């Protein structure tokens, strides 16, 4: 049989390191953490390295930043490279543990509530809590598709002992989505172009 | 701010290339394709490189194999490294397109129906059809957790113009899951160890 690709990788854009130089640890408050996630989403548009979504993983005990993520779908060529998957995977690469609970109480902070895929990914990652900025409706206004996530997704995560808080700095986070939509930011469609974009 | 990990990667185990030498293209029938996905799941146990799950991406037009995947969660240390995500991401790495519909009518064939995360990932990948072997209940019997996938997940994919066929070679696929459960295969739990494993 033919020789197939056996290796897959992705990397954060170089600008992420420069942006982080302006931020100080510890990130003690939920607002401070969300400010960074939103700043990543905004800079990802400005740098044209992907969609308007940012996420970080923070150790809740130490308030130290463990990883950051931005949406890299179009630039790394992987449909799974949503900000949340990027941040979780980089946290796991950093800690060496696919189960982040082995490395402390970890929190995923995302500039927009997760799509169906990222919702499903949260329990598998071992994070203890999830903080979201913009809501599904904010993403939809900008032309994005959240996928078929259960309506009671917050309760379903809570039932798995994952603490969830929504609408943290929602206005600031939603403004970045609206800006992307208004500016005619690339809406990358699957297939025919008839379906709305995924986040 | 501290220096963070910015790079993430995963690679198929070397045995995959050897296994593929025994398979001939084209893979014309759904059964032939599922046989390969199930063979991958079985060999992944035997080689102890991850959970009992295999998946492939096939070009429906040419019946050529585009990529293969196996569950690599514990060996690459990434909770997203389910067989489906691995196969889809390698197909995208191979074609250079995050939207697989750009490269032809692509089919994802998986030895077990997708968990909540992989269900959410399917529409974002651009595949036109999804073929599943074992059912959710077969995975649960072996100790695995499917996550909170909507009950009408098949209809939800069909509404997105993705063709879905379940229970192809179900008995063969389920037997590998049962074998894994019976043999005391590593059940990798998130957190306390009280929750069942994810696939």
Distance between CA atoms of A81 and B82, rounded to whole angstroms?
14
The yes-or-no verdict on residue A188 having pLDDT over 90 is: no
What's the token pair of residue A36? 């960074």
**pTM given for the model:** 0.95
B92 at the A interface (CB within 8 A)? yes
**Low-confidence residues of chain B, pLDDT below 70?**
1-2, 186-199
Instruction: Residue A115: name the closest of A85, A74, A158 by CA.
Output: A85
Within 94-133 of B, beta carbons closer than 8 Å to A belong to: 94, 96-99, 101, 115-121, 123-126
Buried b (16+ CB within 10 A) or exposed e, B144-178: bbbbbbbeebbebbeeeebebeeebbbebbbbbbe
- pLDDT tens for each residue of A119-129: 999 999 999 99
Query: A98 and B3 in contact by Cβ < 8 A?
Result: no
- Residue indicated by tokens 């950093």: A94
Helices B30-46 + B170-182 axis angle, to 10: 10
pLDDT for res B188: 60
- Give the catalytic positions of A in this structure: 84
- pLDDT tens for each residue of B55-74: 999 999 999 999 999 999 99
Rounded to two decimals, the ipTM of the complex is 0.94
> Is the Cα dihedral A110, A112, A118, A120 positive or negative?
positive
Mean pLDDT (chain A, rounded): 93
Instruction: Residue A70: name the closest of A37, A118, A99, A98 by CA.
Output: A37
pLDDT for res B194: 39
B16 at the A interface (CB within 8 A)? yes
How near does any CA of chain A get to the CA of B169, in Å?
A: 22
* β-bridge pairing B163-165 and B129-134: parallel
Which parts of chain A are beta strand (E)?
A: 7-11, 54-59, 65-70, 106-112, 129-134, 144-145, 163-165, 197-198
Residue B87's φ and ψ, nearest 5 degrees, are -65, -45
pLDDT for res A182: 86
Please say whether the beta carbons of B18 and B39 come within 8 A: no
Q: Which of A5, A23, A73 sits opposite B1 (nearest CB)?
A: A23
* Triad B17, B18, B22: Cα angle to 5°: 110
B73 at the A interface (CB within 8 A)? yes
Is residue A118 classed as helix, strand or coil in its secondary structure? helix
Q: Which of B3, B67, B101 sits opposite A191 (nearest CB)?
A: B101
For residue A75, list chain B residues with Cβ-Cβ distance below 8 A.
Answer: none
- Give the catalytic positions of B in this structure: 84
CB pairs under 8 A between A and B: 222
B191 at the A interface (CB within 8 A)? yes
Q: Which of B2, B88, B89 sits opposite A65 (nearest CB)?
A: B2
Please say whether the beta carbons of B25 and A1 come within 8 A: yes
How near does any CA of chain A get to the CA of B125, in Å?
A: 6
Distance between CA atoms of A189 and A132, rounded to whole angstroms?
24
A93 at the B interface (CB within 8 A)? yes
Beta partners for B10? A8
Buried b (16+ CB within 10 A) or exposed e, B8-30: bebbbbeebeebbeeeeeebeeb
The yes-or-no verdict on residue A172 having pLDDT over 80 is: yes
Beta partners for A112? A134
């Amino acid at each position: 049989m033919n020789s197939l690709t056996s290796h897959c990788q992705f990397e954060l854009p170089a600008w992420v390191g420069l942006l982080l130089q302006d931020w100080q640890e510890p990130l003690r408050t939920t607002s401070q953490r969300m400010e960074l996630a939103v700043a990543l989403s905004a800079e990802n548009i400005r740098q044209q390295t992907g969609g308007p979504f940012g996420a970080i993983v923070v150790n809740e005990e130490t308030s130290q930043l463990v990883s950051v993520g931005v949406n890299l779908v179009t630039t790394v060529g992987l449909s799974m490279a949503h900000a949340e998957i990027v941040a979780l995977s980089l946290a796991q690469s950093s800690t060496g543990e696919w189960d982040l609970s082995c490395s402390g109480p970890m929190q995923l902070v995302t500039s927009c509530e997760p799509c169906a895929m990222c919702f499903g990914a949260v329990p598998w990652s071992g994070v203890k809590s999830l903080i979201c900025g913009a809501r599904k409706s904010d993403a939809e206004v900008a032309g994005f598709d959240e996928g078929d996530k259960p309506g009671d997704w917050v309760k379903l995560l809570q039932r798995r002992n994952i603490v969830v808080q929504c609408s943290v700095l929602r206005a600031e986070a939603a403004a970045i989505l609206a800006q992307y939509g208004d500016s005619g930011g690339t809406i990358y469609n699957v297939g025919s172009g008839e379906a709305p974009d995924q986040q």
